[in-house]
Amino acid sequence: MTNIYHITHHVHDNSIYVFFQGCNFQCKGCILKQLIWDCHLKDDIQRELQAINDLRKLSLDEFKIIVKGLNVKRAVLGEGEPTLDKELPNIISMLNALNVKTHLLTNGYILDKKFIEKLEKAGLSSTYVSIKAYDNDTHRFYTGQTNEPVLDNFKLLSKSRIELMAESVLIPGLIEQDEIERIARFIASIDSSIPYRIDGFIPIHDASWKVSSQEDVIKASKTAKKHLKNVRYMHSKIKVKGDVINIYPKMKGR
C-alpha cells in the first residue's frame, strides 16, 4: 500500500499532482491543515471532496492503472511528505517505466545519502526541497523540527544526479526579506545556479500571519537574485493556468 490518497490532473502541462498522507513536520501555516485536497480545484469539487470521510489510500497497482489511463508526461510527487512512503522508489520506477518524468517536492528531512541513492537508482528526475528557514530557532518554531538534516541533505542532493531546486515561503512577520537572503546565501554557497522559488504566504484559518503582498514577494526575489542566478516567485495574484481535474478519489456521478 502507498500513502497516496489524492490525484489531480493539471491540463496545461499534462501533469498529475500526487498527494501523500502524513508529514514529519507540523508547519504552522501548512495549507493541508485547512484543505487536504488540491486547492486549485473548483470550489464545488472541493466541497464534494470535503464530504468524503473514508479516505482510502491506493496500492501501487491501483495507482499504476490510474496513471496508464491518463497518458500524462509528468508527475509531481508532493503535498504531504512523499519521502515517508516506503513505496516511493517503486512509485518512481513504475512512473519511469511508463515514460512519466518524476518531480519530488519534499522538506528533505530524511533524504540522507542512502535514500538519495535509492531515488537516483529509481530514476527520479528532479527534486524541490522546501527550505522553511535558515535560522534554526525560526525553523523549530515553524515546523517543530531542527533544520540541520534539511541543510545537510540539501548539500548531499547537490552532489547527486537528481536535478536540485529549492523553495521557500515568504511569511510576513516570520520569514522576512533577511531570512530569504540567508537562505539564498546558503544555496549560493553550494552552487549559485541552483534554481530558487519564493512563494508568497497564503494564510490558513488558525495562522496569525497575513498574506504576502505582491510587492514583498518581488522584493524578496530581487534580494535572492543578489546571490543566485535563477530566482522565480509565486504569489496569490498569479493564477494557475488551465483546468485542474480531480482524478482520485472518484466522486459519484463524475
| Per CB under 6 A, 82 contacts ligand SF4 | no
Of 26-34, 48-56, 146-154, 191-199, the window that binds ligand SF4 (rule: CB under 6 A) is: 26-34
Strand partners, 101: 74
The Cα–Cα gap between 226 and 223 comes to: 6
Residue among 8, 7, 17, 12 at smallest CA distance from 239? 12
Of 25-33, 90-98, 173-181, 202-210, the window that binds ligand SF4 (rule: CB under 6 A) is: 25-33
Residue 68: helix, strand or coil by DSSP?
A: helix
Of 27-35, 65-73, 175-183, 204-212, the window that binds ligand SF4 (rule: CB under 6 A) is: 27-35
Of 21-29, 47-55, 185-193, 207-215, the window that binds ligand SF4 (rule: CB under 6 A) is: 21-29
Pairing of strands 196-200, 163-170: parallel
The Cα–Cα gap between 232 and 248 comes to: 30
Could you say which residues in the range 158-197 bind ligand SF4, by CB under 6 A?
Answer: none
Residues 122-161, one symbol each (x = binds ligand SF4 by CB under 6 A, - = not), give ----------------------------------------
Within 8 A by CB and 6+ apart from 64, the residues are: 94, 98
**Cβ closest to ligand SF4, residue 80 vs residue 200:** 80
Instruction: Write down the least CB distance from residue 2 to ligand SF4, Å.
Output: 16
Distance between terminal CA atoms of the chain? Answer: 25
Looking at 16, 23, 92, 129, which residue binds ligand SF4 (CB under 6 A)?
Answer: 23
# binding residues, ligand SF4 (CB under 6 A): 9
Going 45 to 50 to 51 to 54, the CA torsion angle's sign is: positive
**Cβ closest to ligand SF4, residue 94 vs residue 169:** 169
| Per CB under 6 A, 199 contacts ligand SF4 | no
The x, y and z cell numbers of residue 196, run together, are: 530558487
Residue 106: helix, strand or coil by DSSP?
A: strand
Cell numbers 501523500 correspond to: 20
Instruction: Write down the least CB distance from residue 183 to ligand SF4, Å.
Output: 15
Contact 250, 52 (CB under 8 A): no
Looking at 14, 32, 160, 195, which residue binds ligand SF4 (CB under 6 A)?
Answer: 32
Contacting residues toward ligand SF4, per CB under 6 A: 23, 25-27, 30, 32, 80-81, 107
